[in-house]
């Protein structure tokens, strides 16, 4: 679904609830969230118009199901246990925010979401972070925030031809005479990138200042398949130490001092992903704190790895439906 589809087909609370049900129970059988039976019935309530009006005002989720299992008899709404459950915002605003964020190739700041949706800044910021977390959880990220039940399977390891490089983002620019001997990147966040040619991208925030072999080594083991065909890096001295036996025989380097491409040995695929990310970060976010950088990296990764996917919007909503809410106070603490 694109932005237009979302704004026309997901306008009312009913349309939104139908969509959530479709994503949550793809086979069309609504199941009890406690015992799992599909023997459930929808509770139709006849309320007097005065109460109905006040319920609408408060955006209460009005759709309710009852489990017919005699031992269970649980009552639930389609949003229970999902991110939308305790939100006071209309679902249509949530879906509009998802559509805006997933379709903005260069990312979308809270201020932009605020302007488009007419919500306050704090709400826009909060929605953005929850949506980003959902995007990240689809990648099978472990421990990406508090209480994520949807940590999923381990990240698939990269194979074929893999390019690895590091880049530095953010941080204040300081004039040379003020920083003395400190290198300009010492204040920046170090990001290690790995990309499979014709395949997926991984971006990991490893710390502040220059990258070390000790930071790269565990990422190699975690993200690169042992049976990879070739791994390409620049001539940086950290890589021979980082490989340390793991796929070391597959390692090829390009000396950027002298040349950028030697035959098919280069890291240009990764360089273009880096520059796309940086244009997004500096164009839309202005300043991303070190604390939140990894979430933005996951968001970028998610979108990049699904650049050919049929429906980014639906993928993201599916993750939102499967993600436990993250409290505002946990986020800002």
Interacting residues toward Zn ion by CB under 5 A: 32, 34-35, 67, 69, 72, 74
C-beta of 67 vs 97, nearer to Zn ion: 67
Residues recorded for the chain: 333
Please say which residue, 35 or 219, places its beta carbon nearer to Zn ion.
35
Shortest separation between residue 33's beta carbon and Zn ion, angstroms: 8
| Residue 291: CB minimum distance to Zn ion, A | 40
Q: How many CB atoms are located within 10 Å of the residue 216 CB?
A: 24
Cα–Cα distance measured from residue 26 to residue 36, given in angstroms and rounded to the nearest whole number: 14
Q: Which is nearer to Zn ion, 36 or 147 (CB)?
A: 36
Nearer to Zn ion, 69 or 225 (CB): 69
Q: Are strands 75-76 and 64-67 parallel, antiparallel or unpaired?
A: antiparallel
CA dihedral in degrees (102, 105, 111, 115; nearest 10)?
-70
CB of 192 to Zn ion, least distance (A): 46
- Beta carbon of residue 35, minimum distance to Zn ion (angstroms, whole number): 3
Minimal distance, residue 274 CB to Zn ion, in Å? 50
Which is nearer to Zn ion, 78 or 148 (by Cβ)? 78
DSSP codes, 143-196: T-STT-S---SPPPPB-SEEEEEEEEE------HHHHTT--GGGGSEEEEEEEE
Do the beta carbons of residue 63 and residue 21 sit within 8 Å? no
DSSP 3-state of 77: coil
Nearer to Zn ion, 66 or 265 (CB): 66
Rounded-to-10 torsion of CA 80, 313, 148, 158: 150
Q: Which residue, 67 or 203, has its beta carbon nearer to Zn ion?
A: 67
What's the closest the beta carbon of residue 41 comes to Zn ion, in angstroms?
11
Sheet holding 64-67, edge to edge: 40-43, 64-67, 75-76
CB neighbourhood size of 249 (10 A): 9
CB of 132 to Zn ion, least distance (A): 33
CB 109 within 8 A of CB 288: no
d(CA 201, CA 89): 34
Looking at the DSSP bridge assignments, the partners of residue 67 are 40
Residue 147 CB, nearest approach to Zn ion (Å): 24
Q: Which is nearer to Zn ion, 39 or 262 (CB)?
A: 39
Return all residues near 260 (Cβ < 8 A) that are at least 6 apart: 254, 266, 268
């Amino acid at each position: 679904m694109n932005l237009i589809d979302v704004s026309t087909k997901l306008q009312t609370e009913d349309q939104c609830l139908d969509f959530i049900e479709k994503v949550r129970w793809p086979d069309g059988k609504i199941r009890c969230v406690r015992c799992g039976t599909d023997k459930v019935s929808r509770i139709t309530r006849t309320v007097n118009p005065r109460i109905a009006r006040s319920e609408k005002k408060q955006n209460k989720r009005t759709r309710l199901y009852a489990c017919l299992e005699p031992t269970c008899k649980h009552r639930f709404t389609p949003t229970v246990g999902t991110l939308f459950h305790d939100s006071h915002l209309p679902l249509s605003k949530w879906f509009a925010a998802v559509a805006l964020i997933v379709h903005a190739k260069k990312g979308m700041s809270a201020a932009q979401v605020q302007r488009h949706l007419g919500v306050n800044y704090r709400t826009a910021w909060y929605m953005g972070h929850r949506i980003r977390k959902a995007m990240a959880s689809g990648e099978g990220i472990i421990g990406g925030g508090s209480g994520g039940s949807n940590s999923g399977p381990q990240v698939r390891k990269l194979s074929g031809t893999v390019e690895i490089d590091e880049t530095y983002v953010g941080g204040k620019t300081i004039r040379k005479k003020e920083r003395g001997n400190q290198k300009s990147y010492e204040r920046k966040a170090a990001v290690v990138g790995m990309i499979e040619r014709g395949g997926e991208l991984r971006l990991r925030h490893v710390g502040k200042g220059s990258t070390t072999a000790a930071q790269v080594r565990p990422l190699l083991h975690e993200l690169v398949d042992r049976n990879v065909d070739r791994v390409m890096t620049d001539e940086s001295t950290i890589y021979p130490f980082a490989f340390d036996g793991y796929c070391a025989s597959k390692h090829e380097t390009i000396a950027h001092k002298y040349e950028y491409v030697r035959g098919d040995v280069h890291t240009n695929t990764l360089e273009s992903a880096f520059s796309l990310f940086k244009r997004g970060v500096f164009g839309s976010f202005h300043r991303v704190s070190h604390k939140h950088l990894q979430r933005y990296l996951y968001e970028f990764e998610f979108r990049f790895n699904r650049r050919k996917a049929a429906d980014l919007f639906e993928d993201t909503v599916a993750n939102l439906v499967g993600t436990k809410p993250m409290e505002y106070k946990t986020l800002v603490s």
